[in-house]
Structure 1
């Protein structure tokens, strides 16, 4: 979050807000200034004149309050508009980035953005309003006597230095909230993904224990932060009280020296209260803003544009792997045999469980980086060429549907593909399944109630990938929930193209295996085994 960008979000509205805040500051100062005349009248026993000035002060103060409320509403609307722009940039970042976890994304889009809104964005207007109140009130004090204004300026300067005393502690406390919230979200994901299994074994106590523990850790970070903020407010409050007493004391001395009137003592006290309350507001706001420094820097960094190169370059002749290795976080390492796959080949990839078949796909997609070795695409002359990995279609084991119609799940919101949907529905044997739904292709995929079977979901994802007609298809157990007869037809239709297709599948019939050009076995204990089928 940057102040300059907040202003740019709506420049005209920003100017109007500043104008209203200036009027508020002047109105507030005038309301307090009239108090001087009210008490001067009272000291001379002019009661009705006293009431008149008090009434003027009240009306002016009320109008100033209304103006400030309007400014607050306008600012709140602009702040939310700016937050919307930040959220849009963050979403764009996460769409194009492959390095951030789901819990980190949720933490930034929800918790951290809310922290910035409360502890940074909302403080800007408070500082602005308080600043104009201080300026107009100080000018009024100069009109009373220069010495009062000088004392106030000195005391305000000291007061504004106070946030530096707790800045580091506040920043650290806020950062801990963000970190602990991320850990808590991670725990929720880890345990809720296995909720059905926990219910099956009646393991509520373990489930409750780990979530409660992480929840308590998060709650403690909020308590720790409040301690720091409470200490800052206490120091600010002490400085505020001392300053108000000092100003009133000086005004009293000037009164007895017959330099100022009796009303000046009261008015000076009122102005002192306004000024130092404004100073307290500013110091508290600055403390809160400074506490978000690390989070703000983190979110500002995430808002930067990620260079995205889109290309339809598919001019390759072979895909090669050489000395390819990948090490998992648990230090287990997989060594892949050297492979050469020709453009247009239909490959069945086999290997025992844990041999790294799915990992190989993620390496081909550049979702993972190899520990050593290379994967590269070559042209007919054997020269390496750069291929857009977005042109590789990937059918993962855990297929994903969106809470929209089956048709939109297939076209992925590309209306240009609408006319081709029926053809690919037939290709993946989904036609008979749709006949059971009254709405057919317009049936909503209910991701919460799972109104689609595992096989139906796989067929929809198969149709989604086939309709895109990308030059390379990687299919990882993409028909595991589909019956044998339908699987044979789907595989046959899938392989009847000029696309390069690599399939991971178990329990295929001999007839289905014969549809492939080759079988590659990547079992590390056996090395690469290529044979025609």
Structure 2
């Protein structure tokens, strides 16, 4: 029977894991669909939510449900066995069971806070890494690596501290359950010995009842632990559930805008910083050079225009060639960010953005961008996969950016009346 039980445990564990993998794959798909459909807002936390948060949810929520079902079935069978021995044993089992199920609830709040702290600390750590690694070339140029390492170290230490606090809360819960288990086991043994001494039970039951109580209190302890895990995962459940909800489909249509204006536009950040923009109007065909110090909101303005960020106040209006106000098709607004973005696909797909109708024009575009020599040197030409850490990606970005800088250089010289050398820093700031 033990061998059969062990085999069934392995089989059920296999099918349980198989079911969970399919279910969490579905969750990831829904979260990604939600993120893709979201018109505004940043996605910095998505990596944390798809990895760390889901892993915690699997361990604390999904696995706990399976554990509770398994332990509850075992508990019912053991309780039935005690009832067949003596009703007084069953009453004692019920009393101890109630005690073991209730007392661990005093640790629910510390466990909940510990779990939330881990998620928040991990999110902060990932965001800090992303922000600082994006600027690592600038840091290296000014030799401030020590500052970079100190910041990363501080956030990593905070994350480690959050894990330690969760382990502490888990250990306290386990210790409390172990204490109740020891107390209940002792009481059942004493009651059994008393009943044997009175001649109401067979002597051999003193040895057998120890095995039964082991399964009994082991099941109770597991149920209490699993219940605690379910409670602490409540915040994660709600957050992931919100990310899985389908967004209302945006209104179809829209016109490619030819001009725009902003009025009383502002954007507030979580740290209390706020960017306020002057009223701006750009007419159809007009070329405007926007300058300013770092952090004043130049790049952020473009993110507001294309919908990557949502304004805290004010309004942005878009107009067609005739100056008529229109609802914009934001996909028709071009924006070249400071940091080039390549996708881990072929060079062709990065040029056409996966639109097969544009493949016939790709070679001409490569020639216009003066990339033909670089592309011809790659083993598969335009079908060469982009290795984001490899040489093709570096050449692709370098050549593209060099070509793009030539056009704005002439425009800047015309606008400012200065030579390319004097305008180079201005171009870099513009881009």
1:205 aligns with 2:117: no
With normalisation by structure 2, the TM-score equals: 0.85
Tell me the distance in 2 between the aligned counterparts of 1:358 and 1:328.
15
| Separation (CA, whole Å) in 2 of partners of 1:199 and 1:394 | 28
How far off is 1:220 after superposition? Answer: 1.3
TM-superposed deviation, 1:383 = 6.7
Q: Is residue 158 of structure 2 the alignment partner of residue 255 of structure 1?
A: no
1:512-531 → structure 2 map (5 Å cutoff): none
**1:314–1:457: structure 2 CA closer, same or farther, 3 Å change rule?**
same
Closer, same or farther: CA 430–234 of 1 in aligned 2, 3 Å: same
Q: Is the 8 A contact 1:126 1:282 kept in 2?
A: yes
Residue in 2 that maps onto 1:321: 261
Query: How far apart, CA to CA, are the structure 2 residues paired with 1:266 and 1:348?
Result: 91
Cα separation, partners in 2 of 1:142 and 1:483, compared to 1, 3 Å = closer
1: CA distance, partners of 2:47 / 2:142: 30
Q: What residue number does 1:169 align with?
A: 110
Shifted more, 133-142 versus 187-196: the winner is 187-196
Q: Which one is further off, 199-208 or 122-131? A: 199-208
Instruction: Evaluate the alpha carbon distance shift between residue 398 and residue 170 of structure 1 in structure 2; reply closer, same or farther with a 3 A threshold.
Output: same
* Alignment pair present for 1:99 and 2:20: no
Partner of 2:279: 336
1:449 maps to 2:390: yes
Aligned equivalent of 2:240: 299
Q: Retained in 1: the 8 A contact 2:112–2:232?
A: yes
Matched, 1:481 2:397: no
CA distance in 2, matches of 1:64, 1:389: 61
Checking the alignment, whether the CA contact within 8 Å between 2:42 and 2:308 is kept in structure 1 is no
Conservation of the 8 A alpha-carbon contact between 2:112 and 2:231: yes
Aligned length: 410
Q: For 1:483 and 1:371, locate their aligned partners in 2 and report how far apart those are by CA, in whole Å.
A: 33
Q: How far off is 1:235 after superposition?
A: 0.9
Show the counterpart of 1:502.
none
Q: CA deviation at 1:236?
A: 0.7
Structure of greater relative contact order (alpha carbons < 8 Å, 6+ residues apart): 2
Do the aligned partners of 1:324 and 1:370 also contact (CA within 8 Å) in 2? no
- Gaps of at least 5 residues in structure 1 are 1-59, 461-479, 489-504, 514-533
Matched, 1:223 2:164: yes
Larger Rg: 1
Q: Which structure features the higher share of strand residues?
A: 1
State the secondary structure of the residue aligned to 1:325: strand
Tell me the distance in 2 between the aligned counterparts of 1:273 and 1:359. Answer: 63
* Corresponding residue of 1:191: 132
In the superposition, the TM-score normalised over structure 1's length comes to: 0.69
Matches of 2:313 and 2:141 in 1, distance apart?
A: 42
- The equivalent residue for 1:350 is 289
Q: Residues 506-532 of structure 1: CA distance to partner in whole angstroms, max 9, x if unpaired?
A: 44277899xxxxxxxxxxxxxxxxxxx
Change beyond 3 A, Cα 1:105–1:248: same
Name the residue aligned to 2:411.
Answer: 508
Query: For 1:260 and 1:235, how far apart are their aligned partners in 2?
Result: 32
Greater helix share, structure number? 2
Residue 291 of structure 1 and its aligned partner are, at CA, apart by 1.6
Aligned-partner Cα distance in 2 for 1:322–1:232: 57
The residue that corresponds to 1:277 in the other structure is 218
